[in-house]
Amino acid sequence: MTMFDAIVIGSGMSGGIAAKELCERGLKTLVIERGRKLEHGASYTDWMQPWELPNAGMIPQEELARDYPIQSKCYAVTSATQQFWVKDSEHPYTTPEDKPFAWIRGHHLGGRSIMWGRQSYRLSEMDFEANAKDGHGTDWPIRYADLASWYDHVEKFIGVAGSKEGLPQLPDGEFLPPFGLNDGELVLKQAVEAQFPGRKVIPGRVANLSQAQPQHEALGRTSCQNRSFCSQGCSYGAAHSSLSSSLPAAEQTGNLTIVTDAIVHSIVHDPATGKATGVRVIDAGTKEGRTYEAKVIFCCASTIGTAQILLNSKSDAFPSGLANSSDMVGRNLMDHLFALSVAGMLPNGPNTYYHGRRPTGLYIPRFRNVTEPGEFLRGYGFQGGAMRMGWRSAALAMPGIGAALKERVRKLGPWMIYVTGFGEMLPNPENRVTLNANKTDKWGIPTPHVACTIGENERKMAKQMIIDGKAMVEAAGGMVMSVNDEPGEPGLGIHEMGTARMGKDPRNSVLNGFNQAHDVPNLFITDGSAMASGGCQNPSLTYMALSARAAHHAVAFLQEGKI
């Protein structure tokens, strides 16, 4: 049996960064991935043009109903990307009938870092202080100053394009040049900033290389080609993923070993030392079991996956699950309020077009409850964009053939603009993941049971989101054409977090300020489950910053003999 210095469970956003940092600090590191192996470039479908997609990008209805009833709720699931999403028929979980939860997953090397939207925003001091100030959740054991340099570190490595705005609620970072707003978005920006003091319309901050730097080119990455095929995999490496960036960097050290098709059953705990000693896995194909041992273990299996592993790691010392003396493992599951959107037409928009297809759009940072409280707690931001209607709508709107069709698709339509709100969900211990002992997966592991719903605060927030969205579209001269005022079911934001939260008190939290388990000193958890609150910003950048910081401290603790 090979003994490793470190094991990282999961190869996605946080697992890739953890592996990179541990390897670069000299630790022989094993990455365990439950899904199949993918090859950067060779496994992608970004060579397909929109007109080359099977079934015009659509998956047959009977196949969706049978294999992808949940995954197909995600906007990015198409015939070109379905290989990256799990078949729900093969990976079951349960929910209460009145509390649906859409668990959107990708089981393969690189995880959801292949398909993520790449929106990259820092949490602010306001976000780290929120729990302590309003009493919801447990106080974060860190503040923005503890993470600022690690945000810098990760942004420089992955490459984040963005603009510096000087907003306290959305800290600036180490940015590449932004992907600028197009002419339709500039109309919105001018109107919103003139008519609504305190609101800003800025380019979306995105982990795509607008201008590749030497550290990116050293890994074979190059500048973004503005094709917007990102969810099909980026062969240019312009979009950050574990496959394009962090795992290659880890491999360059000579310290990395990767095992794929290995389903983690549980983490082994030694009651004599109080430490975790290894990870039990089941071969996805043969179903044979084996155990890998290490001095340090990082659990980065995603929020629900991590909760499942910890809860299934029962022993005499931890009868309710590993590191669960607080009974907080699985609790406080959060997502962002999602799918609340407003779309409108700009009848008097500029008679211009744009070049290429940027990998991002516009962002409107949080403006509610920033300087003074309102009718609900916390806040929300908006993502969106403007586009000129063109050949797609003209070609597909009505039947046609020959010269008449060609002439129709050459004519540009009006500008359309849309904004979608992302709102913060308060921590709630009753929103939780438990194990369903009566329903196991094909490897004999109890499946997760997910119970999560929004509360009254979120409902108040959702109403105001729509009011604000309509007001901003109309301020730009837009005619509101569609409104979705019902929040999507939790999970559809694909920002699930909170099931092994950080905190100062071991009695009400799972992890300390270094992402180290209070109960198990050599166990670190740095995926979304570590979040004590969610803010309203896309959280992946924070996961990566926490992972890099935790890896730094884990190596120091190991060298000092503390773990």
Please, what is the average pLDDT of the chain? 96
The Cα 336–Cα 303 span in angstroms is 14
Q: How many CB atoms lie within 10 A of CB 94?
A: 15
Q: How many CB atoms lie within 10 A of CB 386?
A: 26
Choice among 31-45, 178-192, 408-422 with the minimum mean pLDDT? 408-422
Average pLDDT over residues 140-154: 98
Q: Quick check: 258 pLDDT over 70?
A: yes
Per-residue model confidence (pLDDT) at position 366: 98
The proportion of the chain whose per-residue pLDDT surpasses 70, expressed as a percent, equals: 99
Q: Give the model confidence (pLDDT) of 498-509 as tens digits.
A: 999 999 999 999
- Name the residue type at position 184: G
Per-residue model confidence (pLDDT) at position 525: 98
pTM, two decimal places: 0.97
Q: Looking at the domain covering 1-161+206-333+428-448+496-563, what would its CATH class be?
A: alpha beta
Contact criterion met (CB below 8 Å) for 525 and 500: yes
Contact criterion met (CB below 8 Å) for 18 and 154: no
Question: In the numeric block, which tokens belong to residue 317?
Answer: 């010392």
Radius of gyration in angstroms for the set of CA atoms belonging to the chain, rounded to a whole number: 23
Residues 26-30: contacts with CB within 8 Å, 24+ apart? 26/253, 26/255, 26/555, 27/255, 27/296, 27/555, 27/558, 28/4, 28/255, 28/257, 29/4, 29/5, 29/250, 29/255, 29/256, 29/257, 30/2, 30/4, 30/6, 30/257, 30/258, 30/259, 30/292, 30/294
**Residue 417 Cα distances to 159, 183, 227, 381, angstroms:** 27, 11, 20, 16
CA atoms within 13 Å, Cβ hemisphere of 394? 16
- Name the residue type at position 523: L
Per-residue model confidence (pLDDT) at position 397: 65
Higher-scoring residue by pLDDT: 163, 397 = 163
Per-residue model confidence (pLDDT) at position 147: 98
Q: Give the model confidence (pLDDT) of 216-237 as tens digits.
A: 999 999 999 999 999 999 999 9
- Name the residue type at position 546: L
Q: Quick check: 107 pLDDT over 70?
A: yes
**Domain boundaries of the chain, sorted by first residue:** 1-161+206-333+428-448+496-563, 165-204+337-423+454-489
The Cα 436–Cα 86 span in angstroms is 20
CA atoms within 13 Å, Cβ hemisphere of 2? 10
**Which pLDDT band, with edges at 50, 70 and 90, does 1 fall under?**
low
Per-residue model confidence (pLDDT) at position 394: 59
Contact criterion met (CB below 8 Å) for 305 and 10: yes
Q: Quick check: 529 pLDDT over 80?
A: yes
**Kind plus residue range of the DSSP H or E element containing 557:** helix 540-559
The shares of helix, strand and coil residues in the chain, as percent rounded to the nearest 5, are 30, 20, 50
Q: Give the model confidence (pLDDT) of 57-104 as tens digits.
A: 999 999 999 999 999 999 999 999 999 999 999 999 999 999 999 999
Per-residue model confidence (pLDDT) at position 395: 66
The proportion of the chain whose per-residue pLDDT surpasses 90, expressed as a percent, equals: 92
The dihedral formed by the CA atoms of 82, 86, 90 and 96, expressed in degrees to the nearest 10: -120
The Cα 289–Cα 355 span in angstroms is 53
The Cα 235–Cα 46 span in angstroms is 7
Per-residue model confidence (pLDDT) at position 400: 79
**Which pLDDT band, with edges at 50, 70 and 90, does 50 fall under?**
confident
**Which pLDDT band, with edges at 50, 70 and 90, does 390 fall under?**
confident
* Apex 168 CA angle, 194 and 498, nearest 5: 120
